[in-house]
Amino acid sequence: MCKTNQERRTLGRKIVSWLSFGVFVASQSMVLASPIMPDNNAVITERPLVQETANQIPLINITAPTNKGVSMNKYEQFNVEKQGAILNNSYVTSKTELAGYVQGNSNMVNGTAKVIVNQVTSGTPTSMNGYLEVAGQRASVVVANPNGITVNGGGFLNADHAVLTTGRAELNGAGNLQNYRVEQGKVAIEGKGLDGKGADSVSILARTIDVNAGVWANKLNTRTGQNHIDANNLKATALESSTVETKPMIGLDVAAVGGMYANHITMVGTEAGVGVNLNGVVAGSQSVSVDANGHLSVNGTLQSDTSLVAKANSIQNIKTIASGGNLDLETKELINAGNITSVKNGHIKVEETLTNKNTMAAGANTQGAVTGNGSLSVEAGTIRNTDAVIVSGGTTRINSKEVHNIENGRIYGGKVAIQTEVLENRKNVALESKLDAAMADMKAAEDKLEAAYAIDTTAFTSKTEQDEYLNRIKELSQVYDEKLKIVKLVQEELSAHKGSTVAGRDDVTIEADSILNREKSLVYSGGTMTLDGRDTLHNIGGTIEGIGKGVIRSKDYQNKNSSFTAKRVSPEIEKGLSGASNDAMLTEQEDQILITDKNHSEHGQVFKKSEFTSLNSGYGALHSYGKSPMPIYEAAEYVTVEQITPEEQAAGEELIPAEYIGTQVPSYAYDDPIFKEFGITSMTTERPLTSGPEQEAWDAQYKPILASLNEKIKAHNAKAELHNQKISGVANEKIDNYTIIRNKTMTSKEEVKNSTPGVVRFGGDLSFTGNGTNENSQMVVGGTLTTTGAIDQVAKENQEVTNTFGTTEASYTYKRRWPHKSRRRGYKGQVFMTPQVNKENPISLGVAKKEDKNGKAKGEVGDNHRKEVQDFLNPFAQDSSNDASKPTAGTNILALPTESLYRIHPESTANYVVETDPQFTNKKAFLSSDYMYREMKTKPENIEKRLGDGLYEQTLVRQQIVFGTGYRFLDGYTDDESQFKALMDAGIVYAKQHGIAPGVALTAEQAASLTSDMVWLVKDIVMVEGKPVEVIYPKVYLKQSNGLQLHTDGTLISANTLVMNAKKRIHNEGVIQGKTVVLASNQDIINNGHINADKVGLQSDTTIYQQGQIVGRDAV
């Protein structure tokens, strides 16, 4: 290649100069095969000189900078190999890390560059496998190649701002680097990654970025998409593409083996619909910012130690998004299946749908465990929190059009504030709908069975109708049982799922148009609670509980039982279902006697058959009322035959033939039972009817026999007359005519077969505004319940009904057909009796039962069916199933909670089975039975596994008190911890006095003799994952000062003071109780249930209908 003389002279001078420094750099002609090749077509002012140091490292004499300090260098090829390359930004000799001393760059005679742009103009991509160092004055370095850049062990030394871009650098007229125009190209980080710590900051600007290895920097910026990017502030403005081309799916892709590590990280993607895929680690020690105009997917770690901001069209987090300080996420749609956490405050804004399937936490570590007091604010169109937790150590604030907290969904905070149009806190929508459908079928079967029982049997006129009636009941009873099995199967499916929880340690406020809490889901506040369901507030088989005061407002308040069903049952029908015939299954009653003898003083009256004697005697029965008068017999002799009287003829007796009138006949036939009674052997043949020798011979033998009988009759009658003189009144009146009534009965009553009540409990006062219904459920308030509006109580009515079926048979006495003189008793045959129905006074089913200290009913006001009582009111219900895998023989099976607030620990090493979710408790300590063990100086090795931790133990005590008394607190207490401590103190005193150890239950005699209420630790069995586990739990023992104890498992409203002011009708079918109860209505007050209080006041502007029971111990 020909060189000019000037070039040769210049080269010679440089060689001499380099040799004087011990460094040789070849001329441009010597490095034609160099990986870095200038663009010879570029203007001279943009054409760098590529040389080589003594250790064969490319040395690039960059072009002279513009007045603004920008050196523009264009290349056909720009590849940095492993040994690196040097950008010479010094006029004088300078020291480098890669090559030691290098000579100066004469292009810098007028000043060094502030920005060194290295722009590739050919179609060849760039690879950076080594470091790019700035020799001399520190400057920003730009490597720009639209064909793409691959980094594998590359890095920067002595650089201010290092830029890797697939765009074209654009200078303005003044010589400033103004923009980067990015239309295409990928920057790929491979193998050994990119070390940008030698630069103050690193920016990667490309249409797409693939990070398959580590990127380390002090400050790291990425911009993806087709953009105009401001060179000063890196603001990216999307280009309007004039060509139709396929968009990339991913703008920034950080692979699982890749990572980005810097003090500050800012990532921006502007291309619509092009996403950011983070499968590796993006970690900023100070701040991280992500802004994507497409989808942000995190299947690795996006983390900042100080603050993290992420904005995208949509975000999906599978693993970790975590901030050591504050966190801000903004997107149209967010799907979280991993952990989104912040140590300080978190703010999440989602324009459309937020789907959370794992953890979103503020005041928490990267694993989601709450450790601080940070607050969390969530704004969204729709929130679906499914088997997941939204939690903060401070205030959890949610503002959304819809909040669906489902399937073990948990929303926790020190304070929880929710503003929404719709709030659903529930288990499983599909199974709940399935249960609703099964319950609709169940209700239809229940109604049909009720209707069958209710048929008016008194209209029956035949046994056929009676059998049809019984068969129909048996048929529908079987249908009911089948429907109940279906309900139980659905509930069994539901039991495999946990309810959801909204819980605040200090305060809960929910404002919504519609609130639904159902199927053992929980809304809980450790302090105050305000529930404002402007249109509807439905608690269907769930629990709403505030330890402090509460406010409830709703136009339509429903506290309902989600699975309540009661079956009218009959022991007789059950026998029939077991195979007995209709006649055999009915319960036989003692026969009765209706006296129809007109001459008897008790004519027309009915008595027990056992009160009568001589019912089979032809000489008349006697009504002795259980006493036994002796019969008076006629003389045994021959008597003259006389014609029957007109009365006897009218009664149906046949006339005696005229030829026999006046003849002699014996008064007793030869076979009369009287012979056997008096021990006399009679004749063995009948007396011949025709007079003559045969008759005379017979009479000759019979007369001595008859005479012997007569002597005995005389003696007997003498005794009988003396005996009967002692029996006065009607007992001596003979009864010739009576009717035998043969009875069989069928009794029926209601039994609760299934129940999941709604429970509303507050420890303090409760203010209620609106109207609603409490149906087969409970509202219990520790303080004053004040309502502006009516809460109707709906309870299943129970009425015991006895149907009596049977026959009647008329009986009379008559003389034997001539020629016999004796009398016999006759029967006219059984006749179908018109059935009778006896109905007890109706009462509310299962609402209350007062029991004495021995557990026997006293003044019973309702049936007590607790086989299916839910675990909210009675966690100690005995298991009623026949499952052989479960302990039986009276073993008490404790029901474990299914609310998501609690965790079940099956492991044998656990201190207790039930643990309150630590994400909720946030290390707060609750008074527990540890106090008893400590006060009794129990050695740690002697402390057995307990049922639950402190908060759960307090819940158990609270439930037992409500169940045992119907009140929220025992007299004299207004908070749980004080009550629990006092009851444990009483238990400790009792145990020391009587020498009992924890785990030993009180005997019945000990419980009956208590003079104060107390808590004692007893053992029982709990089923954990199908296996029996022995546990200790606090059992409440109530003193028996008045011998009465009120149990409630039906429809109940209870408060210390209850004041209900309503403009509408007030209707009570359940139990209303308190120390003071005042009901006032502008319309009717209807009481079909029970009102119990010390003082009761009722005021109605119209009418008070009292069909139930009102007990005011001091005043009504």
Residue 980 shares a structural domain with residue 1036: yes
Enter the tokens of residue 867.
């086989």
Number of CB atoms found within 10 A of residue 854's CB: 10
1020 and 1056 inside one domain: no
Contact 757, 563 (CB under 8 A): no
**Is pLDDT of 168 > 70?**
yes
pTM metric for this prediction: 0.81
Question: Which distant-in-sequence residues (6+ apart) come within 8 Å of 966 by Cβ?
Answer: 780, 848, 1046, 1047, 1048, 1052, 1054, 1071, 1073
- State residue 243's pLDDT score: 57
The structural domain count of the chain equals 6
pLDDT at res. 797: 82
907 CB neighbour count, 10 Å cutoff:
7
pLDDT at 818: 60
Tokens describing residue 648: 């006897």
Q: Which of 331-335, 841-845, 865-869 is the least confident region?
A: 865-869
Instruction: Using the predicted structure, report yes or no on whether residue 370 has a pLDDT greater than 90.
Output: no
Mean pLDDT of 880-886: 30
Provide mean pLDDT across the span 8-21.
41
Are the C-beta atoms of 321 and 311 separated by less than 8 Å? no
Backbone phi and psi for residue 429, each to the nearest 5 degrees, phi listed first: -60, -45
Same domain flag for 930 and 1057: no
Q: Give the C-alpha separation, 1075 to 1054, whole Å.
A: 9
| pLDDT tens figures, 963-980 | 888 899 999 999 999 999
Phi, psi (degrees; rounded to nearest 5) at 113 = -85, 145
For residue 474, the Cα-to-chain-centroid distance in whole angstroms is: 35
* pLDDT value, residue 1055: 94
Neighbours of 274 (CB within 10 A): 23
Of residues 864 and 1101, more confidently modeled: 1101
| Mean pLDDT score, 693-710 | 91
The Cα 897–Cα 408 span in angstroms is 13
Query: Which one, of 402, 414, 408, lies nearest residue 378 by Cα?
Result: 402
Domain extent, residue 1025, equals 850-1045
pLDDT value of residue 656: 81
pLDDT recorded at residue 867? 30
Q: Are residues 103 and 226 in the same domain?
A: yes
Model confidence pLDDT, tens digit, residues 119-151? 999 999 999 999 999 999 999 999 999 999 999
Q: Give 1031-1085 pLDDT, tens digit per residue.
A: 999 999 998 754 334 444 578 999 999 999 998 899 999 899 999 999 999 999 9
As to burial, measured by CB atoms within 10 angstroms (0-12 exposed, 13-18 middle, 19+ buried), residue 394 is buried
- In this structure, of 189-193, 313-317, 360-364, the range with the lowest mean pLDDT score is 360-364
DSSP assignment of 316-362 equals EESSEEEESSEEEEEEEEEEESSEEEESS-EEEEEEEEEEESSEEEE
Q: Given a cut of 60, is residue 12 above it in pLDDT?
A: no
**How far is residue 532's CA from residue 544's CA, in Å, rounded to a whole number?**
13
- What is the rounded average pLDDT of the residues 294-302? 94
Whether pLDDT at 869 is above 70: no
Omega within 30 of 0 (cis) for the link into 998: no
376 plus 295 within the same structural domain: yes
What mean pLDDT do residues 462-466 have? Answer: 95
The tens digit of pLDDT for each residue in 984-1015 reads 999 999 999 999 999 999 998 999 889 899 99
User: Of the candidates 740, 704, 941, which has an alpha carbon nearest to the alpha carbon of residue 829?
Assistant: 740
Residue 275 to residues 209, 300, 317, 801: CA-CA distances in angstroms?
11, 15, 13, 73
Same-domain pairing of 84 and 113: yes
Q: What is the CA radius of gyration of the chain?
A: 50
Q: Treating both helix axes as pointing N-terminal to C-terminal, what angle do 976-994 and 950-965 enclose, rounded to 10 degrees?
A: 90
Q: Look at residue 842 in the predicted model and tell me its pLDDT.
A: 75
Query: What is the share, in percent, of the chain residues with pLDDT greater than 70?
Result: 90
Burial of 462 per CB tally in 10 Å (0-12, 13-18, 19+)? exposed
Whether residues 207 and 268 share a domain: the answer is no
Assess whether 1000 and 906 both reside in one domain: yes
- Among 1045, 1060, 1082, which residue terminates a domain? 1045
The CATH number of whichever domain residue 87 belongs to comes to: 2.160.20.10
Give the Cα separation of 1080 and 1075 in Å (integer). Answer: 17
Strand intervals (E) in 62-207: 70-78, 85-89, 94-96, 100-102, 115-120, 126-128, 131-136, 139-144, 149-151, 154-157, 159-165, 168-171, 177-182, 186-189, 194-196, 199-206
Q: Is residue 46 part of a domain?
A: yes
Model pLDDT, residue 820: 59
Instruction: Give me the pLDDT at residue 817, please.
Output: 62
State pLDDT tens for residues 511-529: 999 999 999 999 999 999 9
Q: Does residue 188 fall inside a structural domain?
A: yes
310-to-285, 347, 391, 831 alpha-carbon distances in Å: 16, 11, 20, 91
The rounded mean pLDDT for the chain is 88
pLDDT at 852 exceeding the cut of 50: no
Angle of helix 463-495 versus helix 429-454 axis, rounded to 10: 160
Is 29 a residue whose pLDDT tops 60? no
The pair of structure tokens assigned to 305 is 């130690």
Q: What's the pLDDT at 885?
A: 27
Q: Read off the DSSP letter of residue 661.
A: T
Residue 221 in any domain: the answer is: yes
Q: What per-residue confidence (pLDDT) applies to 719? A: 87
Q: What are phi and psi of 473, to 5 degrees?
A: -65, -45
Tokens of 109: 């005679």
Percentage of residues in the chain with pLDDT exceeding 90? 72
Q: How confident is the model at residue 821 (pLDDT cuts 50, 70, 90)?
A: low
Q: Are residues 398 and 433 in the same domain?
A: no
Same domain, 436 and 399: no
pLDDT the model gives residue 27: 41
* 764 occurs within a structural domain: yes
Structure tokens at 155: 């890095």
Asked if residue 463 has pLDDT above 70, the reply is: yes
Clarify whether residues 193 and 256 are in a common domain: no
Asked which of 183, 203, 235 is the last residue of a domain, the reply is: 235
Q: pLDDT value at position 728?
A: 58
Q: What angle do CA 1071, 1076, 1082 make, to 5 degrees?
A: 75
With beta carbons less than 8 A apart as the criterion, state whether 949 and 917 touch. no
pLDDT tens digits, 545-603: 999 999 999 999 999 999 999 999 999 999 999 999 999 999 999 999 999 999 888 89
Domain assignment present for 594: no
935 and 1028 in a common domain: yes
pLDDT digits (tens, 9 = 90+) for 198-212: 999 999 999 999 999
Residue the block writes with tokens 């062990």? 153
Cβ-proximal residues to 950 (8 Å cutoff; 6+ apart), any chain: 916, 925, 926, 927, 928, 929, 930
Q: Is residue 832 part of a domain?
A: no
Look at residue 1042 in the predicted model and tell me its pLDDT: 46
Cross-strand pairs, 545: 524, 761
Last residue of some domain: 1025, 1045, 1065?
1045
| Residue with tokens 């069903």, as numbered in its chain | 565
On whether the CB atoms of residues 1091 and 1113 are closer than 8 A, the answer is no
**pLDDT value at position 640?**
87
More confident: 658 or 533 = 533
Residue range 248-281, pLDDT digits in tens:
889 999 999 999 999 999 999 988 888 999 999 9
Per residue, the 3-state secondary structure of 422-483, as one string, reads: EEEEECCHHHHHHHHHHHHHHHHHHHHHHHHHHCCHHHCCCHHHHHHHHHHHHHHHHHHHHH
Beta-strand relationship, 587-588 and 738-754: antiparallel
Asked whether residue 422 is domain-assigned, the answer is no
Residue 860: inside a domain: yes
Q: Which residues pair with residue 481 across a beta bridge?
A: none
Measured from the Cβ of residue 443, the count of other Cβ atoms closer than 10 Å reads 13
**Confidence class of residue 193 from pLDDT cuts 50, 70 and 90?**
very high
Q: How confident is the model at residue 33 (pLDDT cuts 50, 70, 90)?
A: low
